[in-house]
A = this chain, B = another copy of it.
Amino acid sequence: MVHRAFGMVSGKPQELGEVWSKPLSGLFAPRSIALIGASGTPGSVGEALLRNLEAYGGALFAVNPHHRSIGGTKVFPNISSLPKAVDLAVIATPAPTVPEVLRECGRAGVGAAVVISAGFGESGPRGAELASECLSAARAAGIRLLGPNCLGLMVPRLQLNATFAGGMAAPGGVAFLSQSGALCTAVLDWSLRENVGFSAFVSVGAMLDVGWDELLSHFDDDPETTVILCYMESVGAARRFLTAARRASQRKPVAVLKVGRTGPASKAAASHTGALTGTDAVLDEAFRSAGVLRVDTLSELFNLAELASKQPHPRGPRLAIVTNAGGPAALATDALVAGGGRLAELCVHAVELLDKRLPTQWSHANPIDILGDASAERYAAAMEVVADSPETDAVLVILTPQSMTQADQTAEVVCRLSKTTPKPVFASWMGGEMVAAGRGILNAAGIPTFDYPDAAAAAFAQLSRCRERLGVCPGDPMDGDGVSLFSTEKTAVEQLLSEACRSGRRLLTNVESAQILSAYGIPVLETRVAQTEDEAVSQSEALGFPVAVKLLSETHTHKSDVGGVRLDVASPEEVRGAWRNIRDSLTLAAGPDGFKGVTLQPMVKREGYELILGCSRDPQFGPVVLFGTGGALVEVYRDTALGIPPLDRAGAKRLMERTKIGAALGGVRGRPGVDLSALETAIMRFSRMVLEQPLIEEVDINPLLASASGLVAIDSRMALHLEQPPGSLASGAAGTPHRNGSTIDEAPFQQPPACGERVFEHPGRAV
């Protein structure tokens, strides 16, 4: 895969042509390092960094204008005095000095920098200014920057420890990326006890330059990395994160622990969709669509690290459990099944073998309960059979300390077995002191150990679910929606929207929104406008009775809330009555000037399903499409699912499948199914509309009536984004991200930057 046609080696932008390159190699595989702010003061950050960096194989230069040498190491007064160019600068000088240090680095040809120093964006306006200066300096010089305000990074297999932590991680397959430096120190300490190894250990800091997307891409390409685990506080450049995550998750498991799930997320919404689309729900959907496993707790993240780092990844979800106690195995089974895994079935052959080797009272099924008096030998006999079975993808061994139990010998048996099978083997030695030595034996041999058997099974289920994702390739969402036919009308839509915007109207009338939907090929119910009572009668007569009479409003989105809807109006007299009722209701609610007339529609015989199709804009991810059960009770049932556009036919199908009503649309209990193909097409067209028309901030089509004979939008409301976002397609801006085969980056969408997020495109990206 081509990452950049424009690479950076040692900070010098070079035309590399279409070649493989690793833009972050200056950070993670530098040939030489300068430590700026090196110190000899015990307990200082500069001293800890120097001590840690000294183990590195490449050249290391200490820089500090106040020292000539530290503990025998020569110290240079500044970067420009170094005898040769360096790849990586590790900067631990006071925040106000960092912009100048970066400029010096640029002049000296440094390609990458880790800024450990704090005192930037997190500490007020002066700090934010400093951060901005740092970024400008780095950008101008083509320096890739990790941090600031971070613990640094480690690459254990290279003995590279560019952190001020009090230890070095063990080498292994986990790339751990954390937005909390303190969490890094805790995880590091824990990993040493648990013998978990890392391909890299990265404290990402404030993500001024290098963010989630590039880190994911880097470790996606890193062959030493077998699993990527992230602790995330903010998603940063959301769409770019998605693109990178979507690609990485096709090759290796990517799990994220994202904090802030339960934060307050209330906002004033102009639509049902807006009310139903919480920030965390969008994030959930984004992760899901990108194949990222979202975990809820630190223990889940740690358990994944334990399992994924030490053993081969499971090839499937079928777990065999060997145990000397039924209860703990039952707990593990519950957790396994709840997590989407399943018990391996024992084939006849395996049962026969086990019958020969085990006492007659063994469970004769999986979990394989080999009874409370099981010796190490009996464990070995059972484990061999199940590990050999083609029905088994992994083996969990559970041990409880009973009177005959050989906790240590059994641990040795497990270690031996795991060397003879390509399948993952993991263990739960339950208890405290009685099993501590056995646990130690397992840990030392690289067998994942879990205090709780149910946690072990849950981690296995999660990892095997990641496996399902690998190799999945999404289709092209812009294919075959037939919208290209409507290109002429698109201009009319843009005109209508711009005019409404210019006149400062946030809400379109239902007639206008129907026009827009219609232009995008979404079937709408014929809707006529009447601005006088007589006109209402004549239009009704033209439509044919009965009709629906609804308030025509530029201000009220939920018309039924203000008594603005009259259905089944069957005669001219009733039309006049409805006109007056609606007028009076609105006058009561909004004063005499609010009433502009009514709309008239033929009454639809409401057979079929009332659905909702909507869109709102998330500050991080941009437009989000909502589909589900519509009607007046949409916010009561909340039977909806979210999709991030563009949505192709498969994406539209999956969106529908994730709702309860989706299961009924194919036909249920004698009711005919709906025209699913028409529905999918409408979702695809709608998805295109919200991408192409960034002026549309929120839309509800509710109800969208779907039946066997087709579908029709009965009613809709649209709210506009009065300030046009920068870089939208409508404004013809450039800035479409580089094409890298991802469906998301090809979307002609770019959201306005959210507060406090990374807002600059790195120049290296502008292909």
Contacts and interface: CB of A to CB of B under 8 A. Distances in A.
A298 B262 contact: no
A433 B327 contact: no
A9 interface: no
A199 interface: no
B636 A661 contact: yes
A432 B327 contact: no
A123 interface: yes
A327 B182 contact: yes
B190 A431 contact: yes
A186 B400 contact: yes
B563 A670 contact: yes
Interface stretch (A25-33, A139-147, A329-337, A642-650): A329-337
Interface in A627-674: 629, 632-633, 635-639, 660-661, 663-664, 668-671
A372 interface: yes
A204 B584 CA distance: 72
B261 A334 contact: yes
A477 interface: no
A289 interface: no
A299 B433 contact: no
Nearest to A565: B670
A434 interface: yes
B260 A430 contact: no
B189 A435 contact: yes
Interface in A316-349: 324-328, 330-331, 333-335, 337-338
Given A189-B435, A299-B452, A164 B330 contact: no
Interface string A699-728: 000000000000000000000000000000
A190 B636 contact: no
A629 B636 CA distance: 11
Contacts of A261: 334, 338
Interface in A611-641: 629, 632-633, 635-639
A168 to B, nearest CB: 13
A193 B453 contact: no
A451 interface: yes
B325 A182 contact: yes
A45 interface: yes
Nearest to A558: B669
B454 A325 contact: no
Contact of A182 (B43, B164, B179, B326): B326
Contacts of A488: none
A183 B400 contact: yes
A565 to B, nearest CB: 8
A487 interface: no
B325 A180 contact: yes
A177 B129 CA distance: 61
A166 interface: yes
Contacts of A299: 299, 451-452, 454-455
A204 to B, nearest CB: 12
A401 interface: yes
Nearest to A455: B299
A433 B189 contact: yes
Contacts of A231: 327
A632 B166 contact: no
B331 A259 contact: yes
Interface string A664-686: 10001111000000000000000
A593 interface: no
B180 A403 contact: no
A670 B333 CA distance: 48
A569 to B, nearest CB: 16
Given A48-B403, A334-B262, A401-B189, A180 B433 contact: no
Nearest to A369: B182
A325 B433 CA distance: 31
A191 interface: yes
A192 interface: yes
Contacts of A338: 261-262, 296
A503 interface: no
Given A190-B432, A560-B669, A183 B333 contact: no
B403 A166 contact: yes
A636 B668 contact: yes
Contacts of A400: 182-183, 185-186
Nearest to A452: B298
A573 interface: no
Given A432-B190, A669-B561, A182 B402 contact: yes
A633 B628 CA distance: 14
A328 B178 CA distance: 11
Interface string A344-380: 0000000000000000010000000000100000000
B454 A298 contact: yes
Contacts of A326: 180, 182
A257 interface: yes
A636 B628 CA distance: 12
A157 to B, nearest CB: 21
A325 B629 CA distance: 43
B192 A433 contact: yes
A489 interface: no
Given A190-B430, A261-B338, A298-B453, A328 B180 contact: yes
A154 to B, nearest CB: 16
A194 interface: yes
A452 B433 CA distance: 21
A192 B453 CA distance: 19
A670 B432 contact: no
Contacts of A468: none
Contact of A637 (B297, B455, B639): B639
Given A189-B433, A633-B664, A330 B233 contact: yes
Nearest to A183: B327
Contacts of A233: 327, 330
Nearest to A458: B297
- With most chain B CB atoms within 10 A of its CB, the pick from A188, A193, A633, A660 is A633
30 contacts: A43-B403, A43-B404, A45-B403, A123-B361, A166-B401, A166-B434, A178-B327, A180-B325, A180-B326, A181-B325, A182-B326, A182-B328, A183-B328, A183-B400, A185-B401, A186-B400, A186-B430, A189-B431, A189-B433, A194-B432, A260-B334, A297-B335, A299-B451, A299-B454, A560-B670, A561-B669, A561-B670, A629-B637, A633-B664, A637-B661
Given A48-B403, A629-B637, 19 more contacts: A180-B325, A180-B326, A182-B324, A182-B402, A185-B401, A186-B401, A189-B401, A191-B432, A231-B327, A259-B327, A297-B452, A297-B454, A298-B453, A299-B451, A299-B452, A558-B669, A635-B668, A635-B669, A636-B660
